[in-house]
Amino acid sequence: MAAAFGIAEVVDENMANAARVHAVEQGKNIGDNVMIAFGGAAPLHAARLCEKLSIDQCLIPQGAGVGSAIGFLRAPFGYESLASLVVRLSAFDPASINTLLDALKTTAESFVRTGTDDRIEREVVAFMRYVGQGWEIPVGLPDRDFTAADAELIDAAFRARYAQFFGRAIDGPEIEFVTWSVKVQGVRQRPDAVTFTSDGVSRGLGTSRAVLDPASGAELETSIVERERLAGGDRITGPAVIVEPETSTVITSPFDAVIQTDGTILLIRKGFDHVAR
């Protein structure tokens, strides 16, 4: 058991450290966020990661273990059509660009309209760079016919996007287009918003057994609860394990779990009085 605990701690610390580094690079305080755990292994590690990262809340949606598959099935149907056309902004020819984009739009829309009855939307992107650079950045452009006057608009859009990536734009080098993209996808109605609550009623559900609790380093009597037996408003006091066919959610001793009306599990640190919105 000690060896298994040590292996799990190494895995959890590696994941927590990667999150810390990313947060520092982005200038963010990771503790201000709500964790969302999906995938077969994420609910197993989520509570322990929240402990290590000082995160007070974590959401585990229904079907978390197969979340990627559910997302694939529910995502709007879409298609992206691309074409390479390397040209400098100083030689911008709106007529040729409009012809190219019209062809890309026709191709992308023909796929999407065949696969969905949803309303569709288009997104036009040019992948651009300074001449001589070996990589490009995506720059969103208006979905309409271009005119010669749009060269200034595109120049400003590229510089603003470049500054977002690297802090500032560069004066002097010429700008060039490399690849053009038109993405078309169906637009589906957004689901109704759900208001989360931390209020719940503790009920005696399932069985219990001794499980090593990483927060205390000791074996504690731990509730073992089947997720299908839970309903909105149920509160599970940690330590506990909520089991389901695709994964298991480990609730360590510093946390409780409150089942929401839509079946989502909200892990919330004991004594924390704010709720995810």
pLDDT in tens, 86-143: 999 999 999 999 999 999 999 999 888 876 677 889 999 999 999 988 899 999 999 9
The CATH fold of domain 77-187: Dna Ligase; domain 1 (3.30.1490)
pLDDT tens readout for residues 187-221 = 877 777 878 888 888 876 678 888 888 877 888 88
| pLDDT score for 226 | 92
Q: How confident is the model at residue 274 (pLDDT cuts 50, 70, 90)?
A: low
Name the pTM for this structure.
Answer: 0.68
| pLDDT score for 271 | 85
191 or 32: which leads in pLDDT: 32
- Cβ 30 vs Cβ 23: under 8 Å: yes
Given a cut of 60, is residue 277 above it in pLDDT? no
Q: How confident is the model at residue 276 (pLDDT cuts 50, 70, 90)?
A: low
Specify the pairing of strand 201-202 against strand 234-237: parallel
Instruction: Spell out the domain ranges in the chain.
Output: 2-71+194-269, 77-187
- Cβ 19 vs Cβ 30: under 8 Å: yes
Burial class (CB in 10 A: 0-12, 13-18, 19+), 245: exposed
pLDDT tens readout for residues 60-81 = 998 888 888 888 888 888 899 9
pLDDT tens readout for residues 130-185 = 998 889 999 999 999 999 999 999 999 999 999 998 888 888 899 999 999 999 98
Q: In what order do the strands lie in the sheet with 35-36?
A: 35-36, 57-60, 265-269, 255-259, 234-237, 201-202
Strand, helix or coil at 114? Answer: helix
